């Protein structure tokens, strides 16, 4: 397994739309394992393949406290949405930045697992938010793009300043 480099906002590659996975094979299973290792090391609770510069529709999520509930979503699609919730989000591609975003409270999602088996999941709360956040990445959207232009500008300035300091 390997740690993968995570792209940071405003990298243009984060805006590239991911293509569906044609076949869930050993290459995809290795990608899932590497993404999981990268997510845990970051540390985070979700990671989309787009964030590691692989533009295929693959997501890993683990919202458990003890990191024992890894879920892979390959070619995920939201079938239904209900309600609304606003909560604070962060992102491994926008390190150190947190802000509130409004999303659906409940979602029904269909995807393939790492064995290529189709499944459907109905969920709410943090897992629903995480699924929506990661699917946004696959569609080329970063959570800060839900914020005002002013906030986006401030975030870009802050990240650029931070990059100069650490360079």
Specify the DSSP element, H or E, that contains 154.
helix 149-166
Which residue in 56, 120, 134, 145 is the catalytic one?
134
Q: Are 130 and 39 within 8 A, CB to CB? A: no
Q: How far apart are CA 122 and CA 104, in angstroms?
A: 12
Q: Are 48 and 16 within 8 A, CB to CB? A: no
Q: How far apart are CA 77 and CA 95, in angstroms?
A: 26
Q: Please say if 134 is a catalytic residue.
A: yes
Residues annotated as part of the active site: 134
């Amino acid at each position: 397994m390997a740690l993968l480099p995570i792209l940071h906002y405003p990298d243009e590659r984060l805006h590239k739309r991911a293509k569906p996975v044609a076949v869930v094979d050993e290459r995809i299973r290795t990608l899932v394992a590497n993404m999981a290792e990268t997510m845990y090391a970051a540390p985070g609770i979700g990671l989309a393949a787009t964030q590691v510069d692989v533009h295929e529709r693959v997501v890993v999520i683990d919202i458990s406290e003890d990191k024992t509930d890894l879920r892979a979503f390959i070619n995920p699609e939201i079938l239904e949405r209900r309600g609304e919730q606003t909560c604070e989000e962060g992102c491994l591609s926008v390190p150190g930045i947190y802000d509130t975003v409004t999303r659906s409270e409940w979602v029904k999602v269909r995807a393939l697992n790492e064995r290529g088996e189709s499944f459907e999941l109905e969920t709410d709360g943090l897992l629903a938010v995480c699924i929506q956040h990661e699917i946004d990445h696959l569609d080329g959207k970063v959570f800060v793009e839900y914020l005002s232009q002013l906030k986006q500008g401030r975030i870009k300035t802050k990240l650029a300043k931070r990059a100069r300091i650490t360079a």
